Structure 1
């Protein structure tokens, strides 16, 4: 039963990201900073670390292609980057102790990795003329602050939910 709740949660977060972008424009802060919510990626990373890594990677593929189809002009970037970031973060967590603070920091590292690689891909194909220091100041740092604030709110509920999901999967024959 909980597997359907996982799908519903991730779909809800996917929808929440677009609603969040519409309701909280950057002009509120009187700046030209770009705030990118990666709430879905955080949820998938928590699923991979506290739930099941293979299912987390699978959801990374599914939601990556949905993200590409709905939000981007270039198909394939998020389709490959979401599962790659989830895989790397889950491998990093094999080295460290699985506590909520470390997973939150690793999630922010994963978001940084995603943002930098997507920026570099877009720069290579000449869809942006933003230099790297402007990218750091206008997009990456505000994005990390936004997602860190989201992590403070949802990290513990996500951890508990995905641990219960993993326990339920282990109990099933």
Structure 2
């Protein structure tokens, strides 16, 4: 039964993101602001930090592909960026101590990389015409603030859950 808790948690966060987008008040951060919840990706980064690189990258690839299939008309952007950023976070964490404050900062850094990476991919294939400064003001800052609040709220429970999962993996 415990084997299924982690995939179910990620599936729940995957679905929660779409529900949040639908029911989030449009003027929460001001008119014309765009907020992108990255609950799933934040949890994937916490998994990488507190459990390990291998599981983090595997789950990142699976859910990146699922994210592309369900939400994005271009297959490969999230399938490429989720595991890549997860790998970079695992390399960063090799030099840092895994505590909740560092996990918060590194996860926000990962979300920032994801946002900029998706924006640059869209610019590269001419999906968006938004200039970089408009992107920063209209989407980047509100997204980081929103996801920082999410990480502050659920960071500690995620940390505890993933530490228990890592301990269970070591006992096997």
Asked if Structure 1 and Structure 2 have the same fold, meaning a TM-score greater than 0.5 normalized by the shorter chain, the answer is yes
TM-score normalised according to structure 2 size? 0.97
Query: Does the Cα contact within 8 Å between 2:29 and 2:142 map onto a contact in 1?
Result: no
Report the counterpart of residue 33 of structure 1 in structure 2: 33
Following TM superposition, by how much is the alpha carbon of 1:58 offset from its aligned partner in structure 2, in angstroms? 0.4
What 5-or-longer segments of structure 2 have no aligned partner? none
Paired position in structure 2 for 1:56: 56
- Residues 13 and 39, structure 1, Cα contact 8 Å, conserved in 2: yes
Which runs of 5 or more residues in structure 1 are unaligned?
none
Within a 5 Å distance, the mapping from 1:59-74 to structure 2 comes to: 59-74=59-74
Tell me whether 1:162 sits opposite 2:162 in the alignment: yes
1:29 Cα shift?
Answer: 4.2
Q: CA deviation at 1:49?
A: 1.0
User: What are the superposed Cα offsets for residues 34-71 of structure 1, whole Å, 9 maximum, x if unpaired?
Assistant: 00000100101111111122111001010001100111
Indicate the residue corresponding to 2:137 in structure 1: 137
Matching of residues 1-173 of structure 1 within 5 Å: 1-172=1-172
Q: Is the 8 A contact 1:3 1:165 kept in 2?
A: no
- What number of residue pairs does the alignment pair up? 172
Residue 26 of structure 1 deviates from its aligned partner by 2.6
TM-superposition CA deviations, 1:149-169 (whole Å, max 9, x none): 001100100000000000001
* Native 8 Å contact 1:26 1:35 kept in 2: no
